[in-house]
Amino acid sequence: MIERVSEHALRLGDARVDLLDGGTFGLDGGAMFRVVPRALWAPLLPPDEQNRVTLGIRPLLVRTAGRTLLLDAGIGPERRDARFAERVALRAGPPLEEQLAGLGVAEDEVDLVVLTHLHFDHAGGLLRADGRPRFPRARVVVQHDELADAAADCPLCRASYVQDDWAPLTDLLAPLRGDADVAPGVRVTRTGGHTRGHQVVRVEAGGAALVFWGDLVPTAAHLRPHWVMGFDLYPVEAYEAKRDLLAPAVAAGAVHVLYHEPGQALGRVVVDADGRGQRLEAIT
């Protein structure tokens, strides 16, 4: 059973999920849509004068079965320098600790942080501005291969990883090898595609399911399985993972979270009025 608590919060049985506001930033529109012509994507995500499209940053707080989890950690705006902030048109959201406090959660009450992958816009919030772990009691779950690739400094991935985001957390990092149950009703599925070790997160409670897609389906425009990103290191794998995972989840009526969607980022998938595209519709 799914019950709406507010615009950004739902109950799935006894579990509660809250969509957080990690601010927005901008990335090159062409890179977000690979071979899709600008004429097709620009009406959906209008680019600025530098061809950047505005993207949301939406970590999810999950409270289920006595556990408190955070899915992806935001970009860590307070840790980024002015040059970087300008390059990616970074707009900070309200401080993460304030948002959590507003929901009755202290940072040391977070038991588990699940990262879809280690890119700077997903892992940046793991540390405070002073470099201390933001969630000192939390195990940080990420795929082993993701950690290996982020540490390897490979020429094609370098720009997306910031070693300082996660390297100081050695004691808290809990690498996984493949699919795993990480908490009661919370399962990660390794998809690859965007990065070799990318994973998505499925939360099940009260007979309902929610899927947190990370960068496999970053925005509603990317609900089309063949609209993969130029940023995807393994685009064929990204397409195949979407093809295999998305349709069954939509057919089953799952709730979806699209981490980079600047509009409706939490809801059920519906087909647009013109029958061509898909978007998320809020649960009412």
Question: Closest CB to Zn ion among 57 and 62?
Answer: 57
Stretch that binds Zn ion, among 105-113, 175-183, 201-209, 212-220 (CB under 5 A): 212-220
What is the size of the binding site for Zn ion (CB under 5 A)? 2
What DSSP letter does each residue of the chain carry, written as one string? -EEEEETTEEEETTEEEEE----EEEEEHHHHHTTS-HHHHTTTS---TTSEEEEE---EEEEETTEEEEES----GGGS-HHHHHHTT-B--S-HHHHHHHTT--GGG--EEE-S---HHHHGGGB-TTSSBSSTT-EEEEEHHHHHHHHHT-TTTGGG--HHHHGGGTTTEEEE-SSEEEETTEEEEE--SSSTT-EEEEEEETTEEEEE-TTSS-SGGGGSTT---TT-SSHHHHHHHHHHHHHHHHHTT-EEE-TT-SS--EEEEEE-TTSS-EEEE---
Stretch that binds Zn ion, among 3-11, 35-43, 215-223, 244-252 (CB under 5 A): 215-223
Stretch that binds Zn ion, among 37-45, 118-126, 183-191, 274-282 (CB under 5 A): 118-126
Question: Closest CB to Zn ion among 59 and 185?
Answer: 59
Question: Residue 20, CB half-sphere, CA atoms under 13 Å: how many?
Answer: 28
CB 274 to Zn ion: min, Å: 28
Question: Closest CB to Zn ion among 145 and 215?
Answer: 215
Q: Is there binding between residue 18 and Zn ion (CB under 5 A)?
A: no
- In the stretch 125-164, what mask flags binding to Zn ion with x, by CB under 5 A? ----------------------------------------
Interface pick for Zn ion out of 20, 36, 90, 121 (rule CB under 5 A): 121
Pairwise CA distance, residues 58 & 61, whole Å: 10
Interface pick for Zn ion out of 215, 232, 237, 261 (rule CB under 5 A): 215
Stretch that binds Zn ion, among 57-65, 178-186, 207-215, 241-249 (CB under 5 A): 207-215
Question: Closest CB to Zn ion among 135 and 259?
Answer: 259
Stretch that binds Zn ion, among 85-93, 114-122, 248-256, 271-279 (CB under 5 A): 114-122
Q: What are phi and psi of 251, to 5 degrees?
A: -60, -30
Which residues, numbered 217-276, are part of the site for Zn ion (CB under 5 A)? none
Question: Closest CB to Zn ion among 13 and 262?
Answer: 262
CB 214 to Zn ion: min, Å: 7
CB 267 to Zn ion: min, Å: 20
Residue type, 238: A
Pairwise CA distance, residues 45 & 164, whole Å: 31
Question: Closest CB to Zn ion among 56 and 185?
Answer: 56
Stretch that binds Zn ion, among 38-46, 66-74, 116-124, 131-139 (CB under 5 A): 116-124
Question: Closest CB to Zn ion among 185 and 214?
Answer: 214
Pairing assessment for the beta strands 112-114 and 67-71 based on DSSP bridges: parallel
The footprint of Zn ion (CB under 5 A) covers: 121, 215
